[in-house]
Amino acid sequence: MASIEDKNDKPTAKEEKKPRAKWIKWVTSPIIVVIPIVVFLLFYSDNSYINRTEHQEQIDELKAEIKLNLDSTRYYEQKTASLNTDRERLEKIAREQYGMKRDNEDVYIMDIR
C-alpha cells in the first residue's frame, strides 16, 4: 500500500498545472466584450470623443459670433437712438450721404478731384 500512497502524492505529468501568467486571470470574457465596445464608443460612434471635441469647437465659434453680433447690435441701437434725439445730426447725414434736400432749396453736388 505504500506504493499506492507514493503514486498519489506525486502528480503525474498530465495532472501538473502549468504556471499561468498574472495577466491571464484579468482577461475574462466580459472584459473581452467590454473593451471593443468602449473603443467603438470612444472613436467610431456618433457621440465619440472626436465628434464631441469638433462640436465643442463649433459651439465656441458660434458663441464668439453671437457675442460679436450682440456687440454690433448694441452699437447700432445706440447710433439709432442718438439719431432719433439729435435732429441736426440726422439732417446732416441725410444731406451728405443720401443727397436729400428741403423743398425750397437747390443742391449742387460738385466732384472735385
For the chain, give every domain's residue range. 21-98
By three-state DSSP, how is residue 27 classified? coil
pLDDT value of residue 81: 92
Question: Which carries the bigger pLDDT value, residue 66 or residue 49?
Answer: 66
pLDDT value of residue 11: 58
Which candidate, 62, 39, 58, places its Cα nearest to that of 49?
39
pLDDT value of residue 77: 95
Give residues with Cβ within 8 angstroms of 93, minimum separation 6.
83
Report the percent of the chain where pLDDT is more than 70.
Answer: 76
Report the range of poorest mean pLDDT among 25-34, 40-49, 81-90: 25-34
- Tell me the whole-structure pTM to 2 decimals: 0.49
> What's the CA gap between 64 and 57, in Å, rounded?
11
**C-alpha dihedral over 8, 14, 17, 18, to 10 degrees?**
150
pLDDT value of residue 101: 84
